[in-house]
Amino acid sequence: MWHFISEHISDETQQFFSCQKAERVSGGDTHESYIIKDTTHRYFVKTRKYDDTQQLSHEAEGLAAIANTQTIATPRVICHGITANETPNMEYLVLSHVRFIEPTENDYFILGQQLAALHAVNAYTSYGWPHDNYIGASVQTNGRMASWADFFAEKRIGSMLERLASIGTWKSGDGNIDDIVTRVRHLLSLHQPHPSLLHGDLWAGNAGFNKKGPVLFDPAVYVGDAETDLAMAELFGGFPQSFFEGYHQHTPIEKNYRLRKPIYQLYHILNHGLLFGAHYITQAKQIIDDIYTH
């Protein structure tokens, strides 16, 4: 495998590379991660058994989309592919190796400003993404829609509830899916935000820092309301106040964000329910009860 990947790296970089050491590192539930190196270069590599989903190709696409905005750094995509003549064949993604450092409060402030700059890019006219991709191990349903309320209600909340129902985690007594989708659509019906390129899975573990500044990775990109990234950033903690101060110095907080925040967080809680079970379903039901009182 490493010989095959080394040749691909050499072809893409136009610099000879031959893996002399592959060090397994932690990270990721759906893949294995390595740092590979020779005497001159080192790269970060993700591998997984090849299947039709090609999850790592979606990650490569998301990283490239963010990098192309030139607003915030990501690991550079070196190459993506599928090994040949292996048993089994492996899908792989090779990224530039990032040497992370311990961040300061000012580093987080800059991260907030750069995230706001990413969200401000004016390149999209509709919401969604051309095809489904992944948020962690879960399929993220996409397609493109003109209405933000329709997209979020149907493609985020509705699709996740339907997936939970299909495996028996969401039961008929937990709430009628069509009614919940209708309620979410109604609550967002007057909100047609700027279509922003989103990281999509913005918790503290998916942001880091090197000597040059912030670096985002493991995205679940789509085009939508910038507030969804902020809601996710608030949901599981890990970001200091300086991050939000940096963001809002660039882009002031919008009216009624606090009302929309739990709706946006619901998507991620439902996804955690899909992955980890009952505790998150209880939390999701409480949010749904609350949004019916709005």
Same domain, 58 and 155: no
Considering the domain architecture, whether residues 48 and 138 belong to the same structural domain is answered as: no
Q: What is the mean pLDDT of residues 42-52?
A: 94
pLDDT in tens, 81-120: 999 888 889 999 999 999 999 999 999 999 999 999 999 9
In terms of domains, do 61 and 117 share one?
A: no
Given this model, what pLDDT does residue 79 score? 98
Q: Which of 74, 96, 118 is the endpoint of a domain?
A: 96
Q: What percentage of the chain carries pLDDT values higher than 90?
A: 91
- Report the phi/psi class of residue 277: left, alpha or beta, with left for phi > 0 and alpha for psi in -120 to 50: left
Q: What is the CATH number of the domain that holds 12?
A: 3.30.200.20
pLDDT greater than 90 at residue 24: yes
User: Active-site residues: which are they?
Assistant: 201
Contact 119, 197 (CB under 8 A): yes
Amino acid at 192: Q
- Please state, in angstroms and rounded to a whole number, the distance separating the CA atoms of residues 204 and 199: 12
* 37: pLDDT strictly greater than 90: yes
Tell me the backbone φ, ψ of residue 134, rounded to 5 degrees: -135, 145
Q: How many Cα atoms are found within 13 Å in the side-chain-facing hemisphere of 9?
A: 24
Query: Residue 169 is part of which domain span?
Result: 105-291
Question: How confident is the model over 192-214, as pLDDT tens digits?
Answer: 999 999 999 999 999 999 999 99
Instruction: Determine the pLDDT at residue 90.
Output: 94
pLDDT reported for residue 53: 84
Instruction: Give the count of domains, the chain.
Output: 2
